[in-house]
Amino acid sequence: YQEEIQELNEVARHRPRSTLVMGIQQENRQIRELQQENKELRTSLEEHQSALELIMSKYREQMFRLLMASKKDDPSIITKLKDQHSKV
């Protein structure tokens, strides 16, 4: 660790302080931009997940209704479907 710090200090001494400060400022801007992009991507992902959950919920509901309509004669299947639907 000490050797690495020493190497960094040697490299830093060969450049003017203003150059180092400008480099750090540029890195800070890039970090802030990346953080903002990351936040936007996270929000977008949450919105997509929410929409997908809603779509899947509607799909399961429709499939449950369809299966119940086609299996009116067999009460054991209806019971199984109700149990599965309640778990979901």
- Sign of the four-CA dihedral 38, 40, 42, 48: negative
pLDDT at residue 53, as a whole number = 96
Domain boundaries of the chain, sorted by first residue: 1-86
pLDDT at residue 75, as a whole number = 64
Exposed (0-12), middle (13-18) or buried (19+): which is 68, by Cβ within 10 Å?
Answer: middle
Q: 82 near 67, Cβ under 8 Å?
A: no
Q: Is the entire prediction scored with pTM above 0.85? A: no
């919920």: which residue's tokens?
A: 57
pLDDT at residue 77, as a whole number = 65
Q: How far apart (Å, rounded) are the C-alpha atoms in residues 39 and 12?
A: 33
Per-residue pLDDT tens for 7-54?
877 777 666 677 778 888 999 999 999 999 999 999 999 999 999 999
Question: Is residue 88 very low, low, confident or very high in pLDDT (cuts 50, 70, 90)?
Answer: low
